[in-house]
Amino acid sequence: MATLETTTGNLESARPDDIRAEFLLPRREDLHRMIEGWVAEDEGIQDLTTNILIPPEATADFAMNTRQDIVVAGIEVAAEVFRHMAPEAQVELAVADGARIAAGARMMRVRGNARALLTIERTSLNILQFMCGIATLVDEYANRISHTNTQLIDTRKTIPGMRMLSKYAACIGGARPHRLGLHDGIIIKDNHIAVHGSITRAVAQARALTPALTKIEVECDTLEQVEEAAAAGADVIMFDNMPAEMMREGIRIIAGRARTEASGGIRLDTIAEKAESGVDVLSVGRMTQSAPAVDIGLDVTISQ
């Protein structure tokens, strides 16, 4: 899906590097299928309350405002819920993805048939709160390590079916994607090593069969494993649940033979120390796995 059209030319500008996230968005037709599924799940056979209480000809005017300071992500996705499911509606955006906005800020205004909009407004709000929640939390993690050269990356710990939107939101918040799935990289872990008997043999097997330009990463729990992985020719060595001092020693042992990643036990109160070890990238699963939804409200006026 290319960047979706907006109905206003006066959006608050996004950060200039947010273009890197666009390739993670679904194609328009795929997004439409997702939206139809979301709405169908919520509506069932009909929106009983709305159809009973709201006259067919009534119109609604929705104002969507944030109730807390957030990083915006998914505003076009949320708007597309209204555009696709209520094509006659007027949708006006006041912000763009990547914008940092304060509590009380207007995000979107939607006007149209009240029945149509009331049936789908929760779907739009849910996806926006979810995606902004990820971007806002990622931004907090990224800010903690902004004084270092370490890059923050996401993981595969995403809600099934929501991976690309989750990774898009993380990218908007200041992270970069790790693997998009099991298909696009080799990460050798304990179970793989156990099958082959050693890191050396596992890396050799991977190197023999993996496409030439595909990176091979090895997860290490000990410094002895770090040395073996570096000697075996791993492209990336992951420090799994290692304290910062141990990571510094691991980086010394590797001596430039591989790039480094730290994973496990990385929280807001520990991320700065881990980054200051000199590790190349830090991966944090909780950014996409358990980011809290942000508080966004919809105020509506209905006219008959």
Catalytically annotated residue among 15, 109, 189, 207? 189
Decide if 173 contacts 20 (C-beta within 8 A): no
240 catalytic per annotation: yes
Catalytically annotated residue among 15, 100, 109, 122? 122
189 catalytic per annotation: yes
C-alpha closest to that of 241 among 250, 232, 233: 250
219 catalytic per annotation: yes
DSSP H or E segment with residue 240: strand 236-240
Torsion from C-alpha of 228, 230, 235, 237, nearest 10 degrees:
70
224 catalytic per annotation: no
Sheet of 296-303, strands arranged across: 90-93, 106-113, 59-66, 296-303
261 catalytic per annotation: no
Catalytically annotated residue among 219, 228, 261, 274? 219
CA distances from 104 to 9, 67, 158 (A): 21, 5, 29
Catalytically annotated residue among 106, 109, 157, 286? 157
C-alpha closest to that of 101 among 139, 138, 141, 66: 66
Residues annotated catalytic, as ranges? 122, 157, 189, 219, 240
